[in-house]
Amino acid sequence: MTLRERIKNEMMVIKALGVVYGDIGTSPIYTFAVILLLLDPTKQTIFEILSMILWTLTMLVTVQYAWLATSLSRRGEGGTVVLVQLLLPYLKGARLTALVTALGYVGISLMIGDGVITPAISILSAVEGINLIPGYEETSRMTLLLIAALIAFALFMVQKKGVENVATAFGPIMVVWFFSLGIVGGYFILQNTEVLHALSPLYALSFIQEHPYISFVILADVLLCATGGEALYADMGHLGRLPILKGWLFASLALILCYYGQGAFLLSHPESVKSPFFEMFHVFAPSLYIPLVILAIFATVIASQAMISGIFSVLYQAMTTRIFPHFNVNYTSNELRSQIYVGSVNWFLFICVVLMLFDFQESAKLASAYGLSVSGAMSITGILISMIFLFKKEYFKMSIAIITGLMSIIFFLSSWLKIPHGGYWSLIIASIPLFIILLYTKGQKKLYKALIPVDKDEFLEEYSKRYRYANHVNGTALFFARQANAIPAYIAKTMFQNGIIYDYNIIVIIKTSHEPHGITSHLSPLGEALDLLIIQPGYMEQLDVEKLLIERHINERTIFYGDEEIISDNIFWKMYAMIKELSPSFVSFYNFPHEKLIGVARRAKI
């Protein structure tokens, strides 16, 4: 490995800190304070909380995500869709396939629900640190909310620059942030090394045994220390596995030092229980407190970036696997094809974030609602990876995955207690993409049944007669279809009813493979001057069909596709028709030249 390659690899680790670890890296700002709202900060209690935090990070993030989940990725890709695609080839029963697919749908939706609260709680918790600056103690709540909203607006504005450019700027800031967490936390640990006794899991187990009901209640708050851990897997497509794992070694050490530093600080400053993080930094270096607040604001902006990047990546996977409507996608990197920007999703998230800010108004109230979607997504990940290891006969990993999966489910059940305190917002927001996914997939099946295809053999027989005796249009025409054994009715209508047959005709099928990357294609003859071209891109591929056609020396003159006009008396199918109408057409998604496209109208009643 050359020096330049080594430097590039290490820079990817810094970028990983900027893209992936912002969310989990800012959890120390509010996690300890939220947990202590329900408990007295006695020495024993502090030790027990620290033990629970440490082993939650270890089992849910290090074991479930950093070790198990990332080992199942393909070519550096991760996320719920990846797990479903890995699992589907092993499944034979229709019911089990439907169950796994449904879990995938729910997992994607929960991630979006989580992605709305993450920026709100992260940014607002840092902005609230302004109240501890001398002279700014009386800053109004509305002023803090407006500052948080403006910061969120700036964050969502820069998304179109691309993850790589954002990470280049954010990475060094997060390096400084994690060093600050580790140094200040380590300083207070040295002031009271007794806190290191809490490294033992016995303290956590003792608390659970002595206070089972209270333990179950606070698990939902303890989980806050691990929120953002799912980004390790979801964001792998942006940066790759190795930089993310190296980054976690650094980030996890800094986080543990910070949490245990807060514990040591509270042992000597129990009056700081409402905001141990900011109070700890204020005592450590009063003159540096204002720069710290500014750094914290930057870090929380970066925290939001981790979730936004993951949502873009997962939604793109959903679009390419045809379980989500096509949106206009901008590709922002020449190196990593999965670095994308989806404008409509970006601004939908921003609007939801602002609504969360002004609805809850305080980070403590947001924390009371936060965690339901995260724990739900973690539970689904635990179930899916356990099944994959079972089918792969890796029984040791399967056993560990079952343990971490059960832990995630317990956290998820505890988080249901947050529903009356605002947790319902996560479910409401998650229900929007889930409804769209279900409506779109069911609608696609209904539409396909309504558009009765022509039997392949009948079509070829009629085509042979027509081509032999009819006049031909000069050039090559492409016709898009879904299946090789059934010809869409619009192709028969174009050729036989309208008499439009070109010198050379190609039926094109794009069938997404179970692999994340790589493109294969196969051209086979169907009849005289009629070929079938099957293209199989990976579900994370930025497919350039024009380039592929040029490589095969195909110079198409016209591209035909079915343009459906959907008619229905059912309100849900009317909504599906509206989604289809607003979404870019199938061929537009693959960036064909518009001057070559001809949509053949087809009316379908569903």
What pLDDT is recorded for position 157? Answer: 86
Report the alpha-carbon distance of residue 362 to residue 358 in Å, rounded: 9
pLDDT over 90 (residue 23):
no
pLDDT over 90 (residue 388):
yes
Q: Are 176 and 250 in contact (CB under 8 A)?
A: no
Q: Among 26, 403, 11, 62, which Cα is nearest to 232's?
A: 62
pLDDT over 90 (residue 161):
no
pLDDT over 90 (residue 144):
yes
pLDDT over 60 (residue 163):
no
User: In the predicted model, what is the mean pLDDT of residues 511-532?
Assistant: 85
What pLDDT is recorded for position 531? Answer: 93
pLDDT over 70 (residue 167):
no
pLDDT level of residue 48 (50, 70, 90 thresholds) = very high
Number of other CB atoms surrounding residue 89 within 10 Å = 9
User: In the predicted model, what is the mean pLDDT of residues 452-460?
Assistant: 88
What pLDDT is recorded for position 43? Answer: 95
What pLDDT is recorded for position 134? Answer: 82
pLDDT over 70 (residue 139):
yes
Residues 6+ apart with CB under 8 A from 576: 439, 440, 442, 443, 446, 566, 568, 606
Amino acid at the residue 220: A
What pLDDT is recorded for position 165? Answer: 60
pLDDT over 90 (residue 149):
yes
Report the alpha-carbon distance of residue 157 to residue 247 in Å, rounded: 26
Retrieve residue 229's tokens. 């851990």
**Residue 481: which H helix or E strand, with range?**
strand 473-481
Report the alpha-carbon distance of residue 370 to residue 390 in Å, rounded: 32
455: phi then psi, degrees, rounded to nearest 5: -60, 140
48: phi then psi, degrees, rounded to nearest 5: -65, -40
Report the alpha-carbon distance of residue 262 to residue 251 in Å, rounded: 17
pLDDT in tens, 478-506: 998 888 888 888 899 899 988 999 999 99
Region at 371 (left for phi over 0; alpha for psi -120 to 50; beta for the rest): left
What pLDDT is recorded for position 283? Answer: 94
Residues 6+ apart with CB under 8 A from 547: none
pLDDT level of residue 451 (50, 70, 90 thresholds) = confident
pLDDT level of residue 76 (50, 70, 90 thresholds) = low
What pLDDT is recorded for position 332? Answer: 66
Residues 6+ apart with CB under 8 A from 147: 127, 130
Q: Are 32 and 273 in contact (CB under 8 A)?
A: no
pLDDT over 90 (residue 605):
no
For residue 527, how far is the Cα from the chain centroid?
45
Q: Which residue has tokens 């979801």?
A: 234
pLDDT in tens, 193-244: 999 999 999 999 999 999 999 999 999 999 999 988 888 887 776 677 888 8
Q: Are 476 and 555 in contact (CB under 8 A)?
A: yes
481 strand-pairing partners: 509
Strands 473-481 and 558-567: parallel
Retrieve residue 363's tokens. 């980070």
498: phi then psi, degrees, rounded to nearest 5: -95, -10
Q: Are 386 and 401 in contact (CB under 8 A)?
A: yes
Q: Which residue has the higher pLDDT, 170 or 337?
A: 170
**Residue 454: which H helix or E strand, with range?**
strand 454-455
pLDDT in tens, 308-360: 777 887 787 788 788 888 887 776 655 555 567 788 888 888 999 999 999 99
Q: What is the pTM of this model?
A: 0.81
What pLDDT is recorded for position 591? Answer: 66
Q: Among 229, 251, 248, which Cα is nearest to 65's?
A: 229
3 state DSSP class of 529: coil
505 strand-pairing partners: 477, 530
Q: Which domains are delineated in the chain?
A: 13-443 (1.20.1740.10), 451-605 (3.40.50)
